[in-house]
Amino acid sequence: MSVLLHNLSREREMENVHLAVEEEDIYSGYNDYNPTFDSEELENDVGFQQAVRTSHGRRPPMTAKFPGTAIGARPLATAFGARIPLASSMGRPMTGAVQDGAARPMTAVRAAGYTSSLTRGSTFDPLGQSKGPAPPLEGKNEDTPEEKIKILEKKVNDLIEESCMAQSIGALQLALEKAKEAGRKERALVRQREQSGNAEHINLDLTYSVLLNLANQYANNEMYPEALNSYQVIVKNKMFSNAGRLKVNMANIYVKQKSYPKAIKFYRMALDQISNAHKELRIKIMQDIGVVFVRMGQYSDAITSFEHIMSESPNIKTGFNLILCYYAIGDRERMKKAFQKLISVPLGIDDEDKYISSNDDNDSNMVIEAIKNDKLHQMERNLKVLAEKYIMTAAKLIAPAIETSFATGFDWCVDIVKSSQYIELANDLEINKAITYLRQKDFNQAVETLKTFEKKDSRVKSAAATNLSFLYFLEKDYDQADRYADLAMTADRYNPAALINKGNTVFVKQDYEKAAEFYKEALRNDSSCTEALYNLGLTYKKLNRLDEALDCFLKLHAILRNSAQVMYQLANLYELLEDPQQAIEWLIQVLSVTHTDPQALAKLGELYDSEGDKSQAFQYYYESFRYYPSNIDVIEWLGAYYIETQFCEKAIQFFERATLIQPTQVKWQLMVASCYRRSGNYQKALETYKDIHRKFPENVECLRFLVRLCTDMGLNEVQEYATKLKKVEKMKEIREQRVKSGRESSSRGRREGSAGSADSAHSSSTKGERLSAKMRSLPGSNEPYEASSPKEIDASYVDPLGPQMERPKTGAKRRVEDDDFADEELGDDLLPE
């Protein structure tokens, strides 16, 4: 028994030793596996097979502590002797089973929205609508510092945007107010961040945007000191990267202030802070430096800048500026070289041929139509037009300077242009050559130059013929003007300038209906042709179609808002339409444009006089006299006004001025003497009448007043002057009888003459009438000067005060006569558009 116990205890000890060794085996357990993952026995798993067959993946009801199958859970022994309950007959765990107190995640075995509760009579509600509306969202708490900061940042950004939008529409003051408000909000934002302990999270980009916008708005409102201070704040802050570029803006302000040395300094500082990688920006700054040097008159420094640009990145504007600098210093050879560089600058634009459809492909034609007038093509056209403008201007500038004569210089420019990409400009240069001849008053050379274009293409021929027609029209050679106008229309029927010139030649022949048709056709071809519209209005006025003329000039006024001629024509039309108030309003507008126009002032005085407003009429007549003291009509009205208001002493100065202007007209000297008599200065009046009698010894009125004054003053000379008066009156009667007899004889000859001698009788009668008219208008054989008519001066001897002068119904000469064919009215511009 003891032996058995001893053996048993020994076996137990050995067993313990063996177990200890197995626990220390670190490689044990690698061959063990969980039967749950044994896929070979799935066919014998009743629970799995039943789940596969059901439509919703339902499982049999759970019968154990852990979910299991109908077979029940079986323990599984491990190498350590532990037992793990299985979820199914094959040891496969149940989906969604709870193990060790934790639920496994849902798998895709159960479809979304389908639950086993449907078998118990519940309704199908995959969206959970039967549970009622969702609870309201939890409101955002705006009282927290973070939310306040976010709201304030948004307000600052909105103010900056509103400021920029206001500036874009021209509301500069509003833009500045918004920029200032954004600055105040941004400073409040910084203080709030510092109070909340987030000073290190300050938004530097927002601060930069606020300061930059404020500086820009100050500059836009021409508040240059404030703008410079704002830019200086940004530039001096080292935390802002690339702030040195803003020195360009500061330099631009100095240029506007004409502080050119400071502008140069800041441009160069900005240039130093921009790397060579930004080549285009550096070129623009150097170009600004060159322009400032030009304004300072330092052409050599400007040439250095422009030459560097033309060697690095040539462009049209810099090439033109370089030519101007060479012209300023008078360097002929370098002008030529610069002009050659200018015309060789590449524009970087495509050929116009690509916008012409060359096949029947509808798709390609649609694309061509779409891009024919898009923004890119418009930019290309504008660039080409600008280049042609600079080249033409440069050629016209240097042509007289590069050679001994301007004609040789023009020929050199034409040859250079013909060998370049701007070959079509050569003809325009030739036309400009003709215009230069015109400026030098060499009309023959101008005509000869323009005639050379008669055999060239239609566009150039039309332009040359238009200018020739205009030249002949100015010389009043209307037949040649009409011929070349027809030639210009034949070459280009849609040339509005040619149609205007044709209408002008018809206008001077008084065929107004036909002229109006040509002007209308010119307007149909070019609705913005102001010359055609102006001439059409004049034509309608000639045809007495005043309403249509008024419509033309109103349209023209909408185009040319500050044209004094158009406004004067409107005033004249309203006067013809018997609307003086409207005429006065338009004349006042004329004076708002031309403040010192004496004719407009005089016309306004005439209208106020016709309305009975003497004080306003006097004001405008007197202003007209101040600006143009040689207008006889104005002088006569002012003198009559002072006589009418019993200020004869003041009237004397006006009639004396009229005497200086028209010394052969005796009536002004008689009016001076009459004013002396009216003012009671009889001695001065007598001396004046004696002086008039010496100049005009056969003037009846002067002798009558001499007799009257000598009688009143008791002088002995009265008999002498009375004798002279009788002699002069007798000579006057004899002269009138001769005129009367001449008229009677001529009329008798016309009545008694036969049909064959009708022409000769008419000729003698006409001569007789001319002679009588001439005798009436001219002084007698012994009169050295013309005598005045009694109708002009009422020299009634009965009135003791002398002649009573009626107020003259004068009308100041219009500033633009209806039938004046000045260049501004009916002539077309010499430069063809």
42 vs 727, higher pLDDT = 727
Confidence of residue 589 (pLDDT cuts 50, 70, 90): very high
In this predicted structure, what is the pLDDT of residue 353? 66
Residue 541 has pLDDT above 90, yes or no: yes
542 vs 81, higher pLDDT = 542
118 vs 645, higher pLDDT = 645
Q: What average pLDDT does range 385-397 have in this prediction? A: 90
In this predicted structure, what is the pLDDT of residue 798? 28
In this predicted structure, what is the pLDDT of residue 84? 41
Q: How far apart (Å, rounded) are the C-alpha atoms in residues 632 and 652?
A: 14
Highest mean pLDDT among 332-336, 747-751, 802-806: 332-336
In this predicted structure, what is the pLDDT of residue 600? 92
**For residues 212 and 234, is the Cβ–Cβ distance under 8 A?**
yes
Burial readout 219-234 (b: 16 or more C-beta within 10 A, e: otherwise): bbbeebeebbebbeeb
Confidence of residue 617 (pLDDT cuts 50, 70, 90): very high
Neighbours of 436 (CB within 10 A): 20
Q: What is the pLDDT of residues 773-809, one digit of tens each?
A: 333 333 333 333 233 333 333 332 223 333 333 333 3
Residue 177 has pLDDT above 90, yes or no: yes
Residue 829 has pLDDT above 60, yes or no: no
Q: What average pLDDT does range 513-518 have in this prediction? A: 94
Q: Across the chain, what does the average pLDDT equal?
A: 77
Residue 832 has pLDDT above 70, yes or no: no
For the whole model, what pTM was predicted?
0.53
446 vs 199, higher pLDDT = 446
Confidence of residue 498 (pLDDT cuts 50, 70, 90): very high
Residues ≥6 apart with Cβ < 8 Å to 409: 398, 399, 400, 401, 402, 403
Which H/E stretch holds residue 376? helix 375-402
Residue 35 has pLDDT above 70, yes or no: no
Q: What is the pLDDT of residues 86-137, one digit of tens each?
A: 444 444 444 444 444 445 555 555 555 555 554 455 566 666 666 666 667 6
Q: What is the pLDDT of residues 457-475, one digit of tens each?
A: 667 778 888 888 888 898 8
Residue 282 has pLDDT above 70, yes or no: yes
In this predicted structure, what is the pLDDT of residue 694? 87
Residue 451 has pLDDT above 60, yes or no: yes
343 burial type by CB count under 10 A (0-12 exposed, 13-18 middle, 19+ buried): buried
Type of residue numbered 403: E
> How many CA atoms lie less than 13 Å away from 464 in the CB half-sphere?
24
Helix%, strand%, coil% for the chain, nearest 5: 65, 0, 30
Confidence of residue 199 (pLDDT cuts 50, 70, 90): low
Q: What average pLDDT does range 183-201 have in this prediction? A: 82
- Find the distance separating the first CA and the last CA of the chain, reported in whole Å: 141
Residue 21 has pLDDT above 50, yes or no: no
Residue 480 has pLDDT above 80, yes or no: yes
Q: What average pLDDT does range 576-599 have in this prediction? A: 92
* Percent of the residues in the chain that have a pLDDT greater than 90, as a whole number: 34
> Beta partners for 85?
75
Q: What is the pLDDT of residues 130-155, one digit of tens each?
A: 666 666 765 555 667 778 888 888 99
Lowest mean pLDDT of 7-21, 211-225, 440-454, name the range: 7-21
Domains in the chain, ordered, with CATH? Answer: 314-345+375-442 (no CATH), 453-549 (1.25.40.10), 629-738 (1.25.40.10)
**For residues 507 and 515, is the Cβ–Cβ distance under 8 A?**
yes
In this predicted structure, what is the pLDDT of residue 740? 81
In this predicted structure, what is the pLDDT of residue 138? 58
In this predicted structure, what is the pLDDT of residue 793? 31
Confidence of residue 769 (pLDDT cuts 50, 70, 90): very low
The alpha-helical segments, DSSP class H, found in 297-374 are 299-312, 316-329, 332-343, 362-371
* Percent of the residues in the chain that have a pLDDT greater than 70, as a whole number: 71
Lowest mean pLDDT of 26-30, 430-434, 685-689, 764-768, name the range: 764-768
Residues ≥6 apart with Cβ < 8 Å to 569: 534, 537, 538, 541, 553, 816
Neighbours of 634 (CB within 10 A): 27
In this predicted structure, what is the pLDDT of residue 105? 56
Q: What average pLDDT does range 438-451 have in this prediction? A: 79
733 vs 554, higher pLDDT = 554
Q: What average pLDDT does range 341-364 have in this prediction? A: 76
In this predicted structure, what is the pLDDT of residue 358? 66
Q: What average pLDDT does range 43-53 have in this prediction? A: 73
Residue 811 has pLDDT above 50, yes or no: no
Q: What is the pLDDT of residues 563-586, one digit of tens each?
A: 999 999 999 999 999 999 999 999
In this predicted structure, what is the pLDDT of residue 599? 92
In this predicted structure, what is the pLDDT of residue 146? 79
